[in-house]
Every structure is written in C-alpha cells, then in structure tokens.
Chains A and B, each alone.
Chain A
Amino acid sequence: MSLRKVKRGPKVIKTLNNLIQYVANWARLSSLWSVHFETGCCCVEFMAVSCSRYDWERFGTLPISSPRQNDLLVIEGIVSKKMAKRVKHMYDQLYDPKYVIALGNCSITGALFKESYSIVKGIDKVIPVDVFVPGCPPRPEAQIHALRMLQEKIRKENLESGAIVPKNNSESLEEKTGQKSTHSNKNKKSQEK
C-alpha cells in the first residue's frame, strides 16, 4: 500500500506527501515483524540470529506467528517444488507492504541440489525477493547486514525526489538496484511444473 504519487501541483502538497511517506517508511523499517517459516537447514542460523547472541529484535523485528500481521517473509534455505506452492500461498497471505529475504544459496540458485528433480532453482522464480543473502548457511552477521540493507531500501521507497531526499540520492539507489523499488513493478511468476 503506497501513497499515491503527486504528479502536478504546488510544492507544499508534494512536500507534505513526502513527509507522510517518510514517516511511513520509518515506521515500516523499524518494525519488521517476521514469521519463522522453515523450509531448509538455514533456519538453524535464523534461530541463532533471533536468539540472545545476536538478537535482531534490537532493530525492531518481532517473531509473530500469524501471516496477517507479518511484514517480512524469510525463506530459510532449500525450497522443494511441493513447498514452493506453500511459499507462494504464504506470500499471498501477507498483507501489503511485504518484504522477502532469501536466505542461503539453496533459495537463491539451488546450489548443492542443483541437479535434483524436486528442487526449485531460485525462489525468485516463485515470489519477488528483496534481498539475497549468500552463505551456506549465512552467518548471523550476514543476516543482520541483509536486514540493514532491506531497511535502507525501505527508507527510500516511494519517495519523490525533492524536499526530503536529495535528488541524486534516490537516483543512485535506482541505479544500484536497477529497478524501481515499488512492489507493483515486480512480476509475480508462479512456478510451472
């Protein structure tokens, strides 16, 4: 759910719009509630990052069990073709705005199981992914870095260049990601058998 962009009009409205969007982005990035949805062995490191040693609740995440209240879906490792349907279903259950982190090489390309008949080679064929985290499994540091990258992405989301964000800043982000950072632009392709 993004605020409607103001194409024309006085600069005051544009600034106000940007201000509301900025506050919304700040709220979104600082309370990314996530569900513990295990698909593979990377979930062990995901547990490690939620536990006392690394504790990513510091950044405002909260483990919560119902997909209705979630913002962040973490694909924890390998996804079989049977599970991919459930992942897609799970993604559809989340309410907008929703973000996805793909954890581990299995969820990025299928890595070690690349020749298996039953494995989805890349979860981005099933659902749109925001941040890819390589590692087998990724260390908690890598996961926290990915979370901060996601927060940085959300911070600049849907902001028109102008009053709050300097113009070159948002442009450089678009260069970096190579795509507009709205969710509507991502194409949802469902995995065909």
Chain B
Amino acid sequence: MSPDLWSLIWDILQSKLFLELVFIPGIAFIALFTVIVVWAERKILARVMMRYGPLHVGKVAGILQTIADTLKLLFKEFIPPRRAHKAAYYLTPVFVASVPTLALTAIPFSKDWVVFPSDLGLLIAFAVFALSPLLAMITGWACNNRYTVIGSLRVIFQDVAAEIPLLLSALGVVMLSGSFNLVNIVESQRRLWFAFLQPLGALVFFIALIGEIERVPFDIPTAEQELVFGWKTEYGGILFGLLMFGEYITFAAGTLLFVTLYLGGYLGPSFLPPMAWILIKMGILVFLLILIRGAYPRLRIDQLLSIGWKWLIPLAILNVLVTMDLIYFYPWILGG
C-alpha cells in the first residue's frame, strides 16, 4: 500500500466525524448505554423490591447479565407467523433500532461536538420522535395478530395524546432562547436553567416524554397483563433484541433532549469536561425514570387520554401564554 493511502486512513481515523460516529454519540455509546441501563434497571427495580436482581451471572453483581441475554437472543431462532407480511416482519425491527439513532445526531455534547449541526436541530429530534409510532404501527400490522394490531392502535392514540403537549411545551423554550438551534438553546441557559425559568413547561414536557418513549406508567402499548406483549408479541430471537435495543435508544434520546432543553445540557463547572456534565445529568434522569417505573402502576388508555387532553395540553398552552407575557413585560428575564 502506498503511504498516501495510509495517511488518508490516518486522517479518517483522526477526523471528528469518525470519532462522533464511533464513540459519542455513535455505536460505542449506544451499545454501552443499552448494556449498562438494562442491567441497572434490573438491579434498581430489584433493590426497590428488596431483593438482589441478577447476581450469579458473571460473578460480580451479575454484570454480564445483559451480554448473556443478548447472546442468547442471537442464538435463538425466530419464525414469522404464517399470515404475516414477511418483508415488513423482517425489516421493521432494523428500522426500529436504527431510526431513533438519528435523534442523537442533533444533540450537542459540547459547544462544537454535534454530528449534524443545524439551525433546526430541535425540529429534527421531534421529526425522528414522530417517526417511531409509524414504525410501531407497521410492525403491529405486519404480524397479523390481534394483540399486535391492538398494541399498534394504542401507540397511535398515545402518540397523539403525548406528542402535542411535548411540542407545545418545547415552544416555550424556543421563545425564550429565540432559536431552534440546540447549541443556541443550551448557550442561552448560561445564566439560569430553563427548568427554573419555566417549571410548568418542564413538568409537562417530562410527563409527555414518558408517554412518548413508552415507559411505565405509560407503557400502555405493551401492557403485559392486557395484551400479551403489545406490538412486540410475535417477535423472538434477535429481532426482539433489536426492538428492545430501539426502545432503549429512544430512551437515551428522550432523556438527552430533556437535559438539553431544560437542564442546561453540557453546561457545568469547568473542572469536568462538558461531555461529562451532560452524561451525569442524563444518568440522574435515567435513574429517576427507572425509579418511577418501580413506584407507579400502569394507567389505562382512557386515563392517559384524559390526562393528555384535559391537563397537559391546557397547561402547555398556559405555559406558552405566560412565557409570552414574561418576554413582553419583563424583557430583562432573557438576560438582555
């Protein structure tokens, strides 16, 4: 090989895009996040119930549990149901696992560490979030099973109830920072985090986010006691693993978005690098969401709809109005 090729490879290896795609927020970050969070979720839920959780796999605290699960799913067979749409059955898990990663490209991990810097970064993240229920619907329809179809219909209901307050409450942030660019949004929180400036908007966004990423208490589409496993019922083997992988990437993207919008993103005292701060904040939020899973029972679909339409949307609109008033009458709140 010529030295030119070597230098080219060396340049590619050193380039920022390569680092971003491979480490943060790329493949390594996503895989590590999934492995650690699945393990931590089982451990924390077990501790809430005063038991050990995974303990004997991998000698120390069951640390190899997720890896064993993944390997087992790899070595397991999967059969499409007889009347399923074969192409959709095989392809949708791949998309479910890969589409939410696009939301991570818009998140700034430090001032100049964004995979896809754009003036409309917030809209990109929301567009990706809006895609995932469509994929869930196709998945449920492709399996041609009554439980999956009911599950995918519930995804649509839930999405309408959660997506609108999500967008409306994010509008307050956009008005305060005057930009859709996520880096600008983070930079305008240098004085005060938006969570303190708009507690109402943050609360509405948080609740709507739990509904959007389908976690307990809003995991209605996969309700295990009513529908067998919701729209994931017919999947086994590594296809099921891909579906769970997609779920946890959505989880990561959702928490990162909340941190970026309301908790000051990568900002923090300078003794740690900005990337560490965003990861620490994200870890705390992930812990809180897991604890919520341990504490609350699941709501019914009609309860979720009434919460979404009767409480979250009016509160989000109220939040927008209050923010407008603040900006009009007290412009010094923006920091001049």
Q: Give the complex CA separation of A55 and B45 in angstroms.
A: 12
Q: Give the complex CA separation of A109 and B47 in angstroms.
A: 39
Q: Give the complex CA separation of A26 and B236 in angstroms.
A: 19
Is A113 part of the contact surface with B, judged by Cβ < 8 Å?
no
Contact B240 A68 (CB under 8 A): yes
Contact B72 A71 (CB under 8 A): yes
Residues of A within 8 A of B64 (CB): 30
Is B32 part of the contact surface with A, judged by Cβ < 8 Å?
no
The proximity string for B residues 62-75 relative to A, scoring 1 for CB distances below 8 Å and 0 otherwise, is: 10110011111011
Residues of A within 8 A of B72 (CB): 27-28, 30-31, 71
Contact B49 A59 (CB under 8 A): no
Q: Give the complex CA separation of A64 and B240 in angstroms.
A: 12
Is A182 part of the contact surface with B, judged by Cβ < 8 Å?
no
B side interface size, CB within 8 A: 36
Partner of A27, one of B50, B51, B62, B68: B68
The proximity string for A residues 155-193 relative to B, scoring 1 for CB distances below 8 Å and 0 otherwise, is: 000000000000000000000000000000000000000
Partner of A26, one of B68, B74, B232: B68
Contact B75 A1 (CB under 8 A): yes
Partner of B54, one of A60, A65, A66, A97: A60
Nearest CB of chain B from residue A92's CB, rounded to whole Å: 11
Contact A31 B68 (CB under 8 A): yes
Contact B234 A68 (CB under 8 A): yes
Is A58 part of the contact surface with B, judged by Cβ < 8 Å?
yes
Residues of A within 8 A of B76 (CB): 1, 71, 95-97
Is A136 part of the contact surface with B, judged by Cβ < 8 Å?
no
Q: Give the complex CA separation of A192 and B54 in angstroms.
A: 42
Contact B50 A23 (CB under 8 A): no
Contact A30 B236 (CB under 8 A): no
Is A52 part of the contact surface with B, judged by Cβ < 8 Å?
yes
Contact B233 A31 (CB under 8 A): no
Is B229 part of the contact surface with A, judged by Cβ < 8 Å?
yes
Contact B228 A65 (CB under 8 A): yes
Interface residues of A in 59-112 (CB under 8 A from B): 59-60, 62, 64-66, 68-69, 71, 95-97
Nearest CB of chain A from residue B161's CB, rounded to whole Å: 24
Nearest CB of chain B from residue A150's CB, rounded to whole Å: 14
Contact B65 A30 (CB under 8 A): yes
Is A24 part of the contact surface with B, judged by Cβ < 8 Å?
yes
Partner of A55, one of B51, B57, B78: B51
Contact B51 A95 (CB under 8 A): no
Interface residues of B in 158-213 (CB under 8 A from A): none
Is B109 part of the contact surface with A, judged by Cβ < 8 Å?
no
Partner of A23, one of B56, B69, B71, B240: B71
Interface residues of A in 1-56 (CB under 8 A from B): 1, 23-24, 26-28, 30-31, 51-52, 55
Contact B62 A68 (CB under 8 A): no
Residues of A within 8 A of B68 (CB): 26-27, 30-31, 60
Contact A68 B54 (CB under 8 A): no
User: Given that A60-B68, A95-B236 are known contacts, is A55 also in contact with B52, CB under 8 Å in the complex?
Assistant: yes
Contact A1 B57 (CB under 8 A): no
Partner of B75, one of A24, A52, A59: A24
Residues of B within 8 A of A55 (CB): 46, 51-53
Nearest CB of chain B from residue A104's CB, rounded to whole Å: 24
Is B55 part of the contact surface with A, judged by Cβ < 8 Å?
yes
Residues of B within 8 A of A28 (CB): 72, 75
Q: Give the complex CA separation of A60 and B69 in angstroms.
A: 8
Contact A66 B56 (CB under 8 A): no
Is B60 part of the contact surface with A, judged by Cβ < 8 Å?
no
Q: Given A60-B68, A69-B240, 7 more contacts at CB 8 Å?
A: A26-B71, A30-B68, A58-B53, A60-B56, A60-B69, A95-B77, A95-B237
Chain A residues close to B by CB (< 8 Å): 1, 23-24, 26-28, 30-31, 51-52, 55, 57-60, 62, 64-66, 68-69, 71, 95-97
Chain B residues close to A by CB (< 8 Å): 42, 46, 49-57, 62, 64-65, 68-72, 74-79, 224-225, 228-229, 232-237, 240
Q: What would be 9 A-B contacts, judged by CB atoms less than 8 Å apart?
A: A27-B70, A30-B57, A31-B68, A52-B50, A58-B62, A60-B56, A60-B68, A95-B79, A95-B237
